[in-house]
Amino acid sequence: MPRIDGKGEQFADPGIAGAVRIGARPDRRVPDNLVRAGFAVDGNEEAMPNRWRVEDAMRPGRGQLHGIELVKHPLGDEPGIGLAPGANLNGGDVVDIGCSREPRTGWHAASVAMAVNGPSGAVRIKVHSVPEHPQITVRSDMTVELVKSSASDADVVFAARVSTVGEQSMDDLDADPASAKGLIGYLMRERHGSPFEHNSMTFFVQAPIFVWREHMRHRIASYNEESGRYRELKPVFYVPNRERNVVQVGKTGSYEFLQGTEAQYDLIDASMRESCARSYAAYQEMLSAGIAREVARMVLPVSIYSSAYVTMNARALMNFLSLRRKSEGSQYPSYPQREIEMVAEAYESEWSRLMPITHAAFVAGGRVAP
């Protein structure tokens, strides 16, 4: 853990993420109404956060400080970034403190210059570090990978034929399903659904949480999702690209989405990136302060990605596809949100490869789940 040292007061090692009390005494190098507090971090430059949140700024017996200016350590070669001279510093304010390497010690240091009213005296401020806005990753796609499957058209055939031939249906376990194309079409057309359940497909899916909210309304699949209670969530967020229609036209129940203008797409991109970065910085700040992951995650937006395994059979998948894809030829047209439709498209691509006869019968039957 990096060591923090204060000029004017020595303190125990609180750690970068903890509260730091900085004692300050009058400094002959600055005007009479200024006192200076300095502190340093033993470590590399990344160990010293530039942003701090002020919990209080008090001069014992004299109340709040006035006119706070935050500057780099005198040995720094660039001015620090902070409040303008004459500004007030109050509890809860977030301030920027420049950090530079001290040539004599190799430490990285910063200082705080404080203008006070009346005679200079001992000054104490209490701050804690605020994480920099972290680098976030932005995506506009979904990850869908078939990781395990036991699914073929033959599974439909032997399950259906047990109704008429009993144990002899086991002879069809490895039979060529092409000869039973008519049987599969009949089952689909007449909506005899149970033979389509004797198979299994497991997918690994990465999608934003707002997609999972819609996905998990389908209670015909099995889910195991990563937990924001047990692991720190990664800063990966969904931002729609310019191919996504973003302007809604028409009334509820009869509307369509159209392309936006360049200005609208610029606004979406800039606003979402800024919002995601700020929320993830707040998430990191709470984690650094010792707040439980299950509480800290509450600040994160539904555009953050989560991952899960999804297992379902062909009948369940057909139900999902009938609702989550907008396709010509559907007997009952559906109007899904584009992002969950992207997941459905990937599912259908994998399923059509595993069970081409069943898939063809589904499409021919108007995409109605049996």
Buried b (16+ CB within 10 A) or exposed e, 159-190: bbbeeeeeeebeebeeeebeebeebbbebbee
> Which DSSP symbol is given to 92?
T
Distance, CA of 2 to CA of 250 (rounded, Å):
59
Residues 6+ apart with CB under 8 A from 39: 4, 5, 6, 7, 20, 22, 109, 110, 111
Phi-psi region for residue 308, left (φ > 0), alpha (ψ -120 to 50) or beta?
beta
DSSP assignment of 128-175, as one string?
Answer: EEEPPPPP-EEE---EEEEEEEE--HHHHHHHHHHHHHGGGGGGGTTS
Q: Which of 36, 161, 324, 367 is catalytic?
A: 324
Asked if 21 is an active-site residue, the reply is no
Collect all residues with Cβ–Cβ distance below 8 Å to 46 and sequence separation of at least 6.
none
In contact, 136 and 235? CB cutoff 8 Å: yes
**Catalytic residue numbers, as ranges:** 324
